[in-house]
Amino acid sequence: MLNGEKKIARPLRWGMVGGGRLGQVGYKHRIGALRDNTAFQLVAGAFDIDPARGKDFGVNIGVSEDRCYPNYETMFAEEAKRKDGLEVVSIATPNGTHYEICKAALHAGLHVICEKPLFFTSDEVLEIKALAEEKGKIVGVTYGFSGNQLLLHMRAMVEKGEIGDVRVVELQYTHGFNATDDGDKVNAAQKWRVDPKIAGPSYVLGDLSTHTYYMSQLIMPKMKIKKLLCDRQSFIGSRAPLEDNAYVLMHYENGAVGRLWTSSIDAGCMDGHRIRIVGSKASLEWWDSKPNELRYEVQGQPIQTLIRSMPYLDESCNADERLGALHQEGLSESWSNIYLKFAIAIDAKMRGDQETLDTLVYPDINAGLEGVRWIENCVRSADQGSVWVDFESNKEAAL
Ligand code: NAD
């Protein structure tokens, strides 16, 4: 159980690029990083594309005025001159900026925590992965839902064979908030999401389904996709070629099959984010809208609801517990859990503690690479007329 006591020797000096006053995701980063005051200290930022607004915002959240910078280039250069300069930076800007900012941060000697989808292409990720290795730095990816600790109980149950052999994987991340194009015209965060120059080769496949795909890999690390078929649509025509709805069929190497539905036009749906794993003995089902509960369904027996924090859960799951079973946890604690693991990974990297790095379960650059490859494969399949594509070789698969 976590109680705020330190897990690393001292808090890391942390800064942000983006995540300013009008940014959607910036506060989630700060909730995650600053939860316990023992992992990160926010000391600097280039918070906004508008320098004046960024400075005003930074000062209002407690950053010294002289360390609220007009842009990330100035921040990296000025912070490098200080003895107490930045050690790690989070990137919470639109997708199309991640690669350049990440590269500049690594060249400035910083560890990086970056938003998803990491970059546009897997070649870019491989290049940055090599650069991070050369510089001895961590690159973490904020799959923000993946810190929900019941996912670790699912992982333990699958590993121990408690649901038998996995046969079917059902993934869904849908909502209805963009069922019309109203937001595309007036909402800054929605405008760039449907612009391929800034969003990249996909909309909901990258924006939503990369989360769910990573979470499925967290639960079933040994389950590799052999081939997939994707069918994507732009129900709001002006969003084409970017999809606002997509279906993906998956075949796994172990013979299991899977299906993912992602959509932002699921009208009326407030949060359709779920993972169902069907094994030969039993099934597990988790919904983001009920993060404190895990359904465990054994064929022929009454359905069980496993509750967060109870002693019958796996040790790995309860190690991330904060509030106790009487109280509800959710997205804030999930972000706090992944940020704490980023801090532990960075600290281990700084100390050369390879054992910790080898055993820590958190979304690292390999998770970011998998997410980008997921998008690439989905887009390649869909754009060839929804054909099966081989996941590893990125070639058309023999049916
Ligand atoms: P947004 O448009 O709401 O906010 C972007 C922020 O970045 C704004 O504050 C903007 O001023 C700032 N910005 C843009 N370019 C900048 C630059 N060059 N330098 C400094 N600041 C800059 O976008 P958002 O919805 O917050 O999304 C940002 C990223 O976070 C995207 O990659 C998105 O996919 C991701 N995201 C992730 C989650 C999650 O759960 N992990 C949730 C939402 C968004």
ipTM: 0.99
Q: What is residue 397's predicted lDDT score, i.e. its pLDDT?
A: 60
Does 152-323+368-383 match 12-145 at the fold level? no
Spans of all domains in the chain: 12-145, 152-323+368-383
Q: What is residue 275's predicted lDDT score, i.e. its pLDDT?
A: 98
Whether residue 58 has its Cβ less than 6 Å from ligand 1: no
Whether the per-residue pLDDT at 398 is higher than 70: the answer is no
**Residue pLDDT, tens place only, 150-189:** 999 999 999 999 999 999 999 999 999 999 999 999 999 9
**Residue pLDDT, tens place only, 259-279:** 999 999 999 999 999 999 999
Q: Point out the ligand 1 atom lying closest to the alpha carbon of residue 98.
A: 32
Q: How far apart are CA 147 and CA 339, in angstroms?
A: 9
How many A from CA of 160 to the centre of ligand 1?
A: 39
Alpha-carbon separation of residue 93 from 5, 82, 174, 346 (angstroms): 31, 25, 23, 22
Once rounded to an integer, what is the mean pLDDT over residues 17-24? 98
Q: Match 């499925």 to its residue by tokens.
A: 216
Q: Which CATH superfamily is domain 152-323+368-383 in?
A: Dihydrodipicolinate Reductase; domain 2 (3.30.360.10)
Whether the per-residue pLDDT at 131 is higher than 70: the answer is yes
Whether residue 212 has its Cβ less than 6 Å from ligand 1: no
**Residue pLDDT, tens place only, 187-242:** 999 999 999 999 999 999 999 999 999 999 999 999 999 999 999 999 999 999 99
Q: Which amino acid is at 309?
A: S
Q: What is residue 299's predicted lDDT score, i.e. its pLDDT?
A: 95
Fold of 12-145: Rossmann fold (3.40.50)
Nearest to 366 by CA among 199, 138, 159: 138
How many A from CA of 171 to the centre of ligand 1?
A: 25
Whether the per-residue pLDDT at 144 is higher than 70: the answer is yes
The helix or strand, by DSSP H or E, that contains position 343, with its residue range, turns out to be: helix 331-351
Q: How far apart are CA 158 and CA 152, in angstroms?
A: 10
Predicted structure pTM score = 0.98
For residues 216-240, b (16+ Cβ closer than 10 Å) or e, as one string? bbbbbeebebbbbbbebebbbeebe
**pLDDT tier for residue 395 given thresholds of 50, 70 and 90:** low
How many A from CA of 208 to the centre of ligand 1?
A: 14
Q: What is residue 393's predicted lDDT score, i.e. its pLDDT?
A: 78
Q: What is residue 396's predicted lDDT score, i.e. its pLDDT?
A: 59
